[in-house]
Amino acid sequence: MRAKKPEIKEKRLKLFVYGPAGVGKTVASLQFPNAVIIDTEKGTDFYSDMIAKQGSVVFQSSNPDEIREEIRELMTTNHDYKTLIIDPMTQVYNSIQEKWIRILADPKKPNEDLGMRFWGKVKGEMKTLQRMILALDMNVIITSHQKDVYGDNFKKIGVTFDSMKGDDYLFDLIFQIVKKGDKRIATTIKERAEIGKNKFPEEFEWSYSNFCQFYGRDILERESKPMTLASTEQVQQIKKLLEVVNVESDSIQKWFTKEDVDSFEEMSAERIQKYIDFVQSHLTGIAPVAKEVKS
C-alpha cells in the first residue's frame, strides 16, 4: 500500500490578498522584511526608503516570461531573501492575455473570437507560474485588485478579486484589506486548517508583528533552500529513451500530473532521475512500460 500516516508540516506562508484601490495593499506587503518585490505597475516608486530599510529589492516588470525567470532564479540559487511579493497579480494575468492575443490573433481579423485555444494557452501559462510560486521555498504574498460582483438586474451583490478565476483555490490563506481610520484591517476570507486550529482571527490589524504572532516568526524568517531542477542533459536523456521505449502518451501525462508539472524541464533533478531509471529498466525486450513510478 502507498498510503501512509499524515505528517505535520509547517508550510511556508502562501497568501493572496485583495482590496479596493488606495487601501494600501502595496504598503501593507512591504512590511515584510528581506523581500523580493515584483512590481507590475510601478507601485513601489514612492517607497524606496521603506524598501531599503527592510532589506528588500524591487524588480519592475509585468512581462510573464521575465517574471517566470526571476522566480526560477529564486527557486534554484542561494540567497538571503525570505518573501516574494507580486504586486499586483492582476497585471500579470492581463499581460499573459495580451501575449497570446499577439501570438494567435489574425491581423486581418482583429475582432475574431480566439475561443478555447486562446483561453487554454492563457490558463496553462498562468497555472505554470502559480505552480512555481507554490513550490518556492519562500513566503509568498500575491496582491490583486478588487472588483464588484453583480447579480440579477446588474445589482451589486459583493466584491471579489480581479484575477484568473480559481486563484482562490490555490492559496491556503486569502485576506481582504480595508482601511479603518489610520489602520489597515484584514478580514480572513479563507484559511485552510484543521477544525479549531486556525492561526488567524476573523479580523485583525495587518502588521508584520501580527503575522509573526499568528503564523510564527521562525517559519516566516526561515532560510530559503534552493531546488535543483532537471538539467539539460537529464531532459535530453529521457527524451531519447522515450524514442526507443514504448511509453503511452497517457502514461507520460500521468507522470506530469503526479509531479504537478507541464514538462520534464519543470521537474526536479531528483524526480526526473527516477523516471530515467524507470524507463531504462524496461529497455530489455522493449515491452510496454507500466504507468507508475515509485515515489
Torsion of Cα atoms, 126 then 132 then 135 then 140, to 10° = -80
Report the C-alpha gap between 208 and 53 in whole angstroms.
14
What domains sit in the chain, N to C, each tagged with a CATH number? Answer: 14-220 (3.40.50.300), 232-280 (no CATH)
Q: What pLDDT score does 159 carry?
A: 75
Q: Contact, 143 vs 89, CB < 8 A?
A: yes
Q: Three-class SS string for 113-134? A: CCHHHHHHHHHHHHHHHHHHHH
Q: Which residues contact 202 (CB under 8 A, 6 or more apart)?
A: 187, 188
Q: What pLDDT score does 50 carry?
A: 92
Q: With a cut of 50, list the residues of the chain below it in pLDDT.
A: 286-288
pLDDT tens for each residue of 153-200: 777 777 777 766 767 778 889 999 998 888 999 999 999 888 888 999
Q: What pLDDT score does 172 carry?
A: 87
| 91 CA to centre of own chain | 14
Q: What pLDDT score does 83 carry?
A: 95
Q: What pLDDT score does 3 carry?
A: 59
Q: What pLDDT score does 131 carry?
A: 86
Q: What pLDDT score does 176 carry?
A: 92
Pairing of strands 139-150, 57-60: unpaired
Q: What pLDDT score does 14 carry?
A: 92
Q: Which residues contact 199 (CB under 8 A, 6 or more apart)?
A: 191, 193, 214, 215
